[in-house]
Amino acid sequence: MDLGFLLQALIPSWISVAVLLIFFAYLAIAGSMLPGKLVPGVTLQDGSHLYYRCNGLRALLLLVGLLGIGSKMNFVSPTVISDRGLELLSTTFIFSFLTMVVLYAAGCRSRSKGSSLKPHITGNLIHDWWYGIQLNPQFMGIDLKFFFVRAGMMGWLIINLSVLAKSVQDGSLSQSMILYQLFCAFYILDYFVHEEYMTSTWDIIAERLGFMLVFGDLVWIPFTFSIQGWWLLNNKVELTTAAAIANCFVFLIGYLVFRGANKQKHIFKQNPKALIWGKPPKVIGGKLLASGYWGIARHSNYLGDLLLALSFSLPCGLSSPIPYFYPIYLFILLVWRERRDEARCAEKYKDIWAEYCRLVPWRIFPYLY
Contact 146, 204 (CB under 8 A): yes
Examine the pLDDT at 362 and tell me if it is beyond 70: yes
Strand partners, 52: 39
Q: Convert the pLDDT of each residue in 84-101 to its tens digit.
A: 889 999 999 999 999 999
Q: Are strands 288-289 and 283-284 parallel, antiparallel or unpaired?
A: antiparallel
Q: Which of 4-8, 16-20, 107-111 has the highest mean pLDDT?
A: 16-20
What number is the average pLDDT over the span 315-331? Answer: 93
Same domain? For 362 and 216 the reply is: no
257: Cβ–Cβ under 8 A, 6 or more apart, which residues?
293, 300, 301, 303, 304, 307
Give the model's pLDDT for residue 233: 92
- Residue 4's domain spans which residues? 1-238
Which DSSP letter does residue 198 get? Answer: G
What number is the average pLDDT over the span 8-25? Answer: 89
Same domain? For 210 and 248 the reply is: no
Give the model's pLDDT for residue 1: 53
Side-chain half-sphere exposure of 162, counting CA atoms within 13 A: 23
Same domain? For 252 and 338 the reply is: yes
Select from 238, 260, 288 the last residue of a domain: 238
Q: Which of 23-27, 119-123, 129-133, 262-266 has the highest mean pLDDT?
A: 23-27
SS3 364: coil
220 φψ region: left (φ > 0), alpha (ψ -120 to 50), beta (else): alpha
Same domain? For 200 and 339 the reply is: no
Q: Convert the pLDDT of each residue in 285-304 to its tens digit.
A: 888 888 899 999 999 999 99
Q: Convert the pLDDT of each residue in 49-61 to its tens digit.
A: 788 999 999 999 9
Examine the pLDDT at 2 and tell me if it is beyond 70: no
Same domain? For 292 and 219 the reply is: no
Same domain? For 217 and 252 the reply is: no
Same domain? For 250 and 209 the reply is: no
Give the model's pLDDT for residue 50: 85
Select from 238, 259, 291 the last residue of a domain: 238
Distance CA 169, CA 158 (A): 16
What number is the average pLDDT over the span 2-6? Answer: 66
Q: Which of 37-46, 223-232, 359-368 has the highest mean pLDDT?
A: 223-232
What number is the average pLDDT over the span 103-110? Answer: 90
Give the model's pLDDT for residue 254: 96
Candidate from 52-61, 138-147, 268-277, 328-337 with smallest mean pLDDT: 268-277
Same domain? For 252 and 185 the reply is: no
What are the angstrom distances between the C-alpha of 183 and each of 3, 157, 186, 252?
33, 11, 5, 9
What number is the average pLDDT over the span 265-281? Answer: 86
Give the model's pLDDT for residue 273: 85
Examine the pLDDT at 124 and tell me if it is beyond 70: yes
Select from 216, 238, 260 the last residue of a domain: 238
Q: What is the mean pLDDT of the chain?
A: 90
Same domain? For 49 and 171 the reply is: yes
Dihedral Cα 77, 78, 82, 84, nearest 10 deg? 20
Listed in sequence order, the DSSP H helices in 240-297 are 241-270
Domain count, the chain: 2
Same domain? For 268 and 219 the reply is: no
Backbone angles phi, psi at 276, to 5 degrees: -115, 120
Examine the pLDDT at 142 and tell me if it is beyond 70: yes
Give the model's pLDDT for residue 267: 85
Distance CA 120, CA 128 (A): 8
Q: Which residue has the higher pLDDT, 156 or 270?
A: 156
Distance CA 112, CA 159 (A): 38
Same domain? For 169 and 312 the reply is: no
Q: Convert the pLDDT of each residue in 155-166 to its tens digit.
A: 999 999 999 999
Give the model's pLDDT for residue 183: 96
What number is the average pLDDT over the span 196-212? Answer: 85
Same domain? For 146 and 172 the reply is: yes
Distance CA 119, CA 202 (A): 19
SS3 74: coil
Distance CA 209, CA 145 (A): 6
The angle formed by the CA atoms of residues 37, 38 and 44, to the nearest 5 degrees, is 145
Examine the pLDDT at 227 and tell me if it is beyond 60: yes
Contact 96, 215 (CB under 8 A): yes
